[in-house]
Amino acid sequence: MDEAHEKVQCALVSPRVTLPPVQEPSNHFGADVAPTYDEHAAPMFEATAIDPVVDLLAELAGAGRALELGIGTGRIALPLAARGVPVAGIELSTAMVEQLRAKPGGADIPVTIGDFADAQVDGVFSTAYLVFNTIMNLTTQAAQVACFRNVATHLEPGGTFVIEVMTPRLQLLPPGETHQVFDASEDHWGIDEVDVATQHSVSHHFRKIDGKFELKSMPFRYVWPAELDLMAQLAGMTLRDRWAGWAREPFTSESRQHVSVWEKPE
């Protein structure tokens, strides 16, 4: 058994295990991640995962423009643009944008390089959106609040802000335990290290590459639905809809994620 595999097994049984330190933020989606990002997230690139997202966003955009925060390699932006919706993006990682640019239509999407908590984009938008838990990449409450305020400045009156994010499942965390296994497969082990006092967490990913497990750890801050509603209120927006998924399933206490839509007043 290799060393990385042993570390995973320790994390399953010991709440006091110390996992390696997190990389600097600039490295999370850098040149070591971007070329294989689509491959590792392959299920999210299936039409069954993309079409409901694009259907809703195209409906919300109407005849206006859409702004994607954390546009990445264009998983959603490219098919949305193919529907005829003008899309612009904000992205911190130039390496991810290079992957976007290499795809058909990717060079036509304007992207602002910067932090989506405060980066400015020209013009106004009918809808802005954050998908795939990306709001949690902002690792402080202050940054998440700033993101809502930034979006509000970019929306036209009546515009909407859409977030897809996991629902914290702390009821699965036994007292005194600080680690949750969220994936255990032949080629990937995923463990979230959780601090319930601060809502700060670290996702540890052990991936088998060339027969050996390699570790990459990334910080995030989980956030509650009601907390997001308050952030929206501080930015002058109100909740319009909340579903358990992009197919607009009812949101309940058992829902593992939510898709929420806030609206800027007319």
With 60 as the cut, is the pLDDT of residue 15 above it?
A: no
More confident residue, 32 or 82: 82
With 60 as the cut, is the pLDDT of residue 17 above it?
A: no
pLDDT averaged over every residue in the chain: 89
More confident residue, 114 or 206: 114
Name the DSSP class of 229: H
Kindly indicate the confidence band of residue 13, based on its pLDDT and cuts at 50, 70 and 90.
very low
The predicted model scores a pTM of 0.86
Could you tell me which of 53, 68, 61 has the C-alpha nearest to residue 127? 61
Model confidence over 91-144: pLDDT tens digits?
A: 999 999 999 999 999 999 999 999 999 999 999 999 999 999 999 999 999 999
The pLDDT of residue 25: 41
Could you tell me which of 13, 24, 79, 14 has the C-alpha nearest to residue 46? 79
Model confidence over 27-79: pLDDT tens digits?
A: 478 777 888 888 878 898 999 999 999 999 999 999 999 999 999 999 999 99
What domains does the chain contain, in order, with CATH numbers? 3-13+169-221 (no CATH), 41-167+224-263 (3.40.50.150)
With 50 as the cut, is the pLDDT of residue 265 above it?
A: yes
Kindly indicate the confidence band of residue 173, based on its pLDDT and cuts at 50, 70 and 90.
confident
CA-to-CA distance for 209 and 163, rounded, in angstroms? 32
3-class secondary structure, 173: coil
Query: Which alpha helices (DSSP H) does the chain contain, by range?
Result: 3-13, 34-40, 47-61, 77-82, 94-101, 141-154, 225-234
Six token digits for residue 192? 């979230």
CA-to-CA dists, residue 160 to 94, 129, 134, 172, angstroms: 27, 8, 17, 33
Query: Among residues of the chain, what percentage have pLDDT more than 70?
Result: 90
Please state the length of the chain.
266
The pLDDT of residue 31: 78
Burial environment of residue 42 by CB neighbours within 10 A (0 to 12, 13 to 18, 19 or more): exposed
How many Cα neighbours within 13 Å face the side chain of 90?
23
Burial environment of residue 264 by CB neighbours within 10 A (0 to 12, 13 to 18, 19 or more): buried
The pLDDT of residue 12: 36
